[in-house]
Amino acid sequence: MADDKVMIVMTSGPDTPHRCATPFFFATLAASMDYDVTMFFTIDGTVLLKKGVADTVFPKPGAKPVGEFLRGALEAGVKFLACTASTELNDIDLNDLIPEVKMVGGATMWQIAEECKTVMTF
């Protein structure tokens, strides 16, 4: 009975680790509230979707890695979309990304944004 759609635009990446956990936490929370949740990764955010990378990023030294927050979001049903252009920006081979992410163009982001009640950017 997911009703309202919401989207989180994730632009933060491994260079700013302390900005990388909360967006996944908020996405998981929204899914737990039965929102239909999409995370759209662009700019540096897409780098977090390279296989293995999120487990090397620690928002807080000694605490759990971003990978655990990321997997929590996926398990809660959050959909991951990534901007094709950001893979070029970061020289990412599509085969290096985790399989759960779907690649889309920027126009798709705009269309989803229009359907969403809330769009939040990190």
By CB under 8 A, name the one of 18, 33, 94, 106 that touches other proteins: 33
Smallest separation (angstroms) from other proteins to the CB of 27: 9
Position of tokens 């990412």?
Answer: 92
Site membership for other proteins, residue 32 (CB under 8 A) = yes
Smallest separation (angstroms) from other proteins to the CB of 64: 8
Whether the Cβ atoms of residue 112 and residue 5 lie closer than 8 Å to each other: yes
For residues 21 and 97, which CB has a smaller minimum distance to other proteins in the complex?
21
Distance CA 105, CA 89 (A): 13
DSSP 104: E
Stretch that binds other proteins, among 24-32, 36-44, 88-96, 104-112 (CB under 8 A): 24-32
Assign 20 to helix, strand or coil.
coil
| Residues 6 or more apart whose Cβ sits within 8 Å of residue 122 | 8, 9, 10, 11, 12, 19, 22, 23, 45
By CB under 8 A, name the one of 72, 81, 82, 112 that touches other proteins: 72
Stretch that binds other proteins, among 7-15, 31-39, 82-90, 97-105 (CB under 8 A): 31-39
Nearest to 31 by CA among 68, 60, 3: 3
**Site of interaction with other proteins (CB under 8 A):** 1, 25, 28-29, 32-34, 72, 76
